Structure 1
Amino acid sequence: MRKLVLANSPLCKLCGKPATVVDHINPITLNNLSQFFEYTNLQSLCNRCHRIKTLNDRGIDSRFSRLKEGKEIKESLEQ
């Protein structure tokens, strides 16, 4: 699945740099395990954007607090 997502979307959805990570748009929890392999819940990100998004998902970093459903918010990276 990872190779397919990166082949179809080789650039980071947030900053436009080459993507290296496939991210779950909606983080996987025990309540939504069925979304783990759902293609529509996956997006390509670079390592930097993935780290920031993951920290935000965990409530540690607010730079991506406006990130919803994989929408691009490139301006957040410029902070």
Structure 2
Amino acid sequence: MSTEEEEVIEEVREEEVEEEEEEVLRGFSIDALELMLSRVEELERYLRSPPPTTTTYVEEVKKEPEKEEKQPPKRSRRKKKSK
């Protein structure tokens, strides 16, 4: 990585962190932090929503496509040559 590509990272003393009383997440990329945030928001929405009723569950199950049991492919039999 060249010096032009390096990002400037501000060093934070532990005393400053303690004064702010915030938890600092180090070693995570921006994408990883955004993914964590989206999952937390999804869980918060789930927790705030009313619990699913039995009818809601039944409707969700009916919406799922039925899975057919897969049968193994049939193997073709070769005719034996008679000599």
TM-score range, shorter chain: under 0.3
Q: Higher strand fraction: Structure 1 or Structure 2?
A: 1
Higher relative contact order (CA 8 A, sep 6+): 1
TM-score calculated relative to the size of structure 1: 0.26
TM-score calculated relative to the size of structure 2: 0.25
- Tell me which structure has the larger Cα radius of gyration: 2
